[in-house]
């Protein structure tokens, strides 16, 4: 089993995140379709079969924008079989959460748990991700003014010298 997974991991490589979003909210994500499309032929080639072995779940009613929604949280136990048959098995467990205003929360949670399994099991990353190359000075957004740290440090120094009601008022206004 472990040898078969190592072969799949060695061949699958990275899977790029695609850009998505809704209005002003933009994000990058790696979808389950891209992950399973890359993994499935390699699983078939090396005789790997993944079976959900058990699911624990909870449903939590919430309100989103004044409407009823539900969060489904699942813990899925997986049996991962190798080319040696039912004795050639390892076990894993993942968590998934799905939020929906209809009956899609549970399928979303199961899909998220499966996606988490594949990402971790096969060490899938994005070949474009290089966290060593990220700088945090500025993220390129134009809707947020750059902060002059010397002004902020001066303000913090002045506030720290205040006492009593003056300090409380400045702190309240800062929030």
pLDDT in tens, 40-50: 999 999 999 99
CA–CA gap between residue 130 and residue 14 (Å, rounded): 12
> Do β-strands 18-22 and 49-64 pair in parallel, antiparallel, or remain unpaired?
unpaired
Q: At residue 147, does pLDDT exceed 50?
A: no
Whether pLDDT at 144 is above 50: no
Place of tokens 């390699």: 42
* Six-digit token string for 123: 């060490």
Q: Are 31 and 62 in contact (CB under 8 A)?
A: no
Q: What rounded mean pLDDT belongs to the chain?
A: 81
Q: How far is CA 94 from CA 13, 15, 29, in A?
A: 22, 20, 19
The band of 154, judged by pLDDT with boundaries at 50, 70 and 90, is low
- Say if residue 16's pLDDT is above 90: no
pTM over 0.75: no
Which range of 56-65, 112-121, 127-136 scores highest in mean pLDDT? It is 112-121
């Amino acid at each position: 089993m472990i040898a078969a997974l190592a072969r799949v991991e060695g061949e699958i490589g990275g899977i790029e995140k695609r850009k998505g979003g809704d209005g002003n909210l933009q994000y990058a994500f790696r979808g389950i379709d891209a992950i399973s499309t890359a993994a499935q032929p390699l699983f078939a080639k090396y005789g790997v079969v993944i079976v959900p072995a058990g699911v624990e779940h909870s449903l939590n009613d919430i309100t989103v924008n004044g409407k009823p929604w539900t969060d489904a949280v699942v813990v899925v136990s997986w049996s991962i079989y190798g080319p040696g048959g039912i004795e050639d098995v390892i076990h894993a467990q993942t968590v998934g959460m799905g939020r929906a205003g209809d009956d899609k929360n549970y399928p979303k949670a199961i899909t998220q748990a499966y996606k988490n399994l594949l990402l971790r099991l096969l060490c899938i990353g994005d070949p474009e991700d290089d966290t060593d190359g990220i700088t945090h000075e500025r993220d390129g957004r134009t809707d947020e003014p750059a902060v002059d740290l010397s002004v902020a440090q001066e303000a913090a120094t002045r506030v720290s010298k205040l006492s009593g009601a003056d300090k409380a008022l400045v702190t309240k206004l800062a929030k």
